[in-house]
Structure 1
Amino acid sequence: MTAPLVPSAPRRHAPQPTAPLRLGLLLYPGCMPAGLFAAADMARAAGLRAQRPVVQTLWVGADLQPVPTWQGPSLTPTVALAAADLDAVLVPGLWLSSTDGLAAQLQPLAPAVQALAALPRRTQLWSYCAGVLLAAASGRLRGRGATATWWLRAALEQQYSAVHWRFDEPLVQDGAATTAAGANGYLPLMLHALGERLAPEALADLQALLMLPRPRTTHPAFAGHDLMATADADLRRAMLWVQRSPANELRLPALADALGLSPRTLARRVQAHTGLSAAHWMRRIKLRQVSEALCDTPQPLKRIAEDLGFASEAGLHRAFRQATGQTPLAYRMAHGGA
């Protein structure tokens, strides 16, 4: 869940409000729709931050039949591409395990390719990763500069030689065609589009909240206490149990019982993997949650202590300072966001 996107200060030199960009999110058989959902989230967030409609998204397809996505659910377009009256269409990637026989792999996608080819010339065509294949097959990239994922280079240059391929560039705009490389190519595409429609400070907020990865730096006291960094399956289950339990109710016998292990066995496993006693390890996990709350929320320490089940604010303050060498306030100022 992200923080509300609201203006923090009056904007200067902001773009004049215009009619929202009508962006079609193209569904086709076997597409990987994660980028479409992310683009829709970014469009909505841009509108909230700007306090005006910026991008209107529509789910489109060659027709209105349900579309099976790659290893995902079937999704139903809300409007056919030919009837959508769009400013731009976003073509997501598809799963390709090989570039052998591209023509055969594109054959089931012929209705979507034909619908793209029939779009008015004024309609912008955005595509990324292997979705650039559909754009090239539609003829909309002929005579234009374009990029795509690097490992498609040989196949694309051979099959679509009329395209001016520029594989050394992550994003290429040439007229009404904009292409991006990589499975996350929707990010530069959306950033490029929103950069023309948002004030610089609004775009920076959007990047910080939705586009940029969370900083990976962590205090040494909490290093190694990350769920994804823990290889032992039982310890991952234990971490989840600890994270979900109030701090003042953490007991080794209760945790061992939840895992189906004896307390002695669990204590040995924790010591072997972390170098800490089980009680110390559990406290560190809860204090790591405190550190994240300090950095990611404006909540006062009293509220954080209540939410995480510490016996008192004063007790949490002492434990946190003992673990990190910093008071919670100093830690928030040093490691927190804006």
Structure 2
Amino acid sequence: MSAVPVIALLVLDGVPAHQLTTPGLVLDAVARSAPGAAYELRVCAVPRTVTTARPAPLTVTADRGLDGLDGAGAVLVAGHDGFRAEPPPGVADALRAAVDRGSRVLAVGTGAFTLAAAGVLDGRRATTEWSHVPELAARHPRVAVDPAGTLVVDGPFRTSAGFLGGLDLWLRLVAEDHGDEVAAATARQLVLPVYDDAGAARAELARALAESGGLEPTVRWLEASADRPLTLADIAAHARLSPRTLDRRFRAHTGLSPLKYLLRVRLDRARHLLEHDDATIEQIAARVGFGSSAGFRRHFRDATGRTPRDYRAAARRDSD
């Protein structure tokens, strides 16, 4: 294996073009932020020539095929239009072999479907694009799909909802390999505004619920009451629906249960407080509605891949 860490980016037909450009931007920024933190990026494709997704499809020929995954310390599967179909021949075997070798295996957005189809996510937690969360759960019931997670880490697997071409996933790799300070410096080098992906996703969910007919008052009440110890029965009583009907309508329009939506509200507020408030972790946990600081820490780490303390430290460094 090369002395330089190798990342193999596996792209399939219909890959979004920005998922091809994001890695180059990030790894170039890494090299400028920390000259000793270089990577070798292998772009691998099956077939070797693929067409990017609409609205402006481009034809791209990769330098490597599946052989490019050999020796890679990390294998990242990009999203693609054909995620509902079986992976091309050889892809599932190559991904299973990467897992067996001890590689980290990652997926951006709908790339999680490819990992699930290969069977490597069975019994694991994972996420995907918000709009495809219910479908991933239905197609692959052995995968514990987390609709509230924007980036989910479980063992060697890292899956991302895919905001900004998987930027969060690439920065996670950098942080794991070179530390939070290099990752924060890399983010600054990208000259990108801070993108509150979780907040944006939650706003999208709220709009969908408002359009579902009759749930908007309950959504507003739930958000205003998030610091209280709410149960599903409490939320259903406010909506004047049975718990089963409420749960079904929430899931139909968002892919989230009411309690998962409530969890997302609480985590969004906790992120904001960690970034802008000097309250202790225990105080923040209580202010956003968690019954215990231990539960807060567990949910926060599950959703972000970091402890609240580490998240706060990285956010403060990034703002300096």
Q: Cα distance, 1:181 vs. partner? A: 1.0
1:128 aligns with 2:103: no
Q: Cα distance, 1:193 vs. partner? A: 1.1
Q: Name the CA distance, whole Å, in 2 between partners of 1:157 and 1:40.
A: 31
Q: Name the CA distance, whole Å, in 2 between partners of 1:199 and 1:130.
A: 27
| SS of the residue 1:141 aligns to | coil
CA contact (8 A) 2:43 2:62 kept: yes
Q: Cα distance, 1:213 vs. partner? A: 1.6
One-letter amino acid matched to 2:137: E
Deviations 1:190-209 (A, max 9, x none): 11111123354433222123
Q: Name the CA distance, whole Å, in 2 between partners of 1:213 and 1:110.
A: 40
| SS of the residue 2:148 aligns to | coil
Larger-gyration structure (1/2): 1
CA contact (8 A) 2:9 2:76 kept: yes
- Aligned pair count reads 192
Gaps of 5+ in 2: 196-318
Q: Name the CA distance, whole Å, in 1 between partners of 2:130 and 2:5.
A: 30
One-letter amino acid matched to 1:91: V
Cα gap change, 1:195/1:53 in structure 2, threshold over 3 Å: closer, same or farther? Answer: closer
- Per mean C-alpha deviation after superposition, the further-off stretch among 162-171 and 114-123 is 114-123
CA contact (8 A) 1:171 1:188 kept: yes
1:33 aligns with 2:17: yes
Q: Cα distance, 1:114 vs. partner? A: 4.4
One-letter amino acid matched to 2:76: L
- Per mean C-alpha deviation after superposition, the further-off stretch among 35-44 and 18-27 is 18-27
1:52 aligns with 2:36: yes
| SS of the residue 1:26 aligns to | strand
Cα gap change, 1:27/1:182 in structure 2, threshold over 3 Å: closer, same or farther? Answer: closer
Residue 221 of structure 1 is matched in structure 2 by none
One-letter amino acid matched to 2:19: G
1:99-178 residue pairs with structure 2 within 5 A? 105-107=84-86, 109-121=88-100, 122-178=102-158
Q: Cα distance, 1:109 vs. partner? A: 3.8
Q: Name the CA distance, whole Å, in 2 between partners of 1:37 and 1:169.
A: 24
One-letter amino acid matched to 2:148: D
Identity of aligned residues (%): 26
CA contact (8 A) 1:33 1:92 kept: no
Q: Cα distance, 1:77 vs. partner? A: 1.9
Q: Name the CA distance, whole Å, in 2 between partners of 1:165 and 1:69.
A: 27
Deviations 1:4-54 (A, max 9, x none): xxxxxxxxxxxxxx9532101112111113123211221122022211243
Q: Name the CA distance, whole Å, in 1 between partners of 2:20 and 2:44.
A: 11
Q: Name the CA distance, whole Å, in 2 between partners of 1:113 and 1:146.
A: 17
One-letter amino acid matched to 1:180: S
CA contact (8 A) 2:29 2:189 kept: no
1:187 aligns with 2:167: yes
Q: Name the CA distance, whole Å, in 1 between partners of 2:64 and 2:15.
A: 17
Q: Name the CA distance, whole Å, in 2 between partners of 1:167 and 1:213.
A: 25
| SS of the residue 1:106 aligns to | coil
| SS of the residue 1:119 aligns to | helix
Detail structure 1 runs of 4+ shifted over 4 Å in the superposition.
Answer: none
Q: Cα distance, 1:186 vs. partner? A: 1.4
Residue 70 of structure 1 is matched in structure 2 by 53
- TM-score, scaled relative to structure 2: 0.53
Q: Name the CA distance, whole Å, in 2 between partners of 1:129 and 1:93.
A: 5
1:1-338 residue pairs with structure 2 within 5 A? 19-62=3-46, 65-71=48-54, 72-83=57-68, 84-95=70-81, 105-107=84-86, 109-121=88-100, 122-184=102-164, 186-210=166-190, 212-213=192-193
Deviations 1:230-262 (A, max 9, x none): xxxxxxxxxxxxxxxxxxxxxxxxxxxxxxxxx
| SS of the residue 2:137 aligns to | helix
Q: Cα distance, 1:117 vs. partner? A: 3.5
Q: Name the CA distance, whole Å, in 2 between partners of 1:38 and 1:112.
A: 23
Deviations 1:82-101 (A, max 9, x none): 353211111112247xxxxx
One-letter amino acid matched to 2:31: G
Q: Name the CA distance, whole Å, in 2 between partners of 1:211 and 1:39.
A: 15
Residue 216 of structure 2 is matched in structure 1 by none
Gaps of 5+ in 1: 1-17, 97-101, 216-336
Cα gap change, 1:19/1:39 in structure 2, threshold over 3 Å: closer, same or farther? Answer: same
CA contact (8 A) 2:151 2:169 kept: yes
Q: Name the CA distance, whole Å, in 2 between partners of 1:214 and 1:191.
A: 13
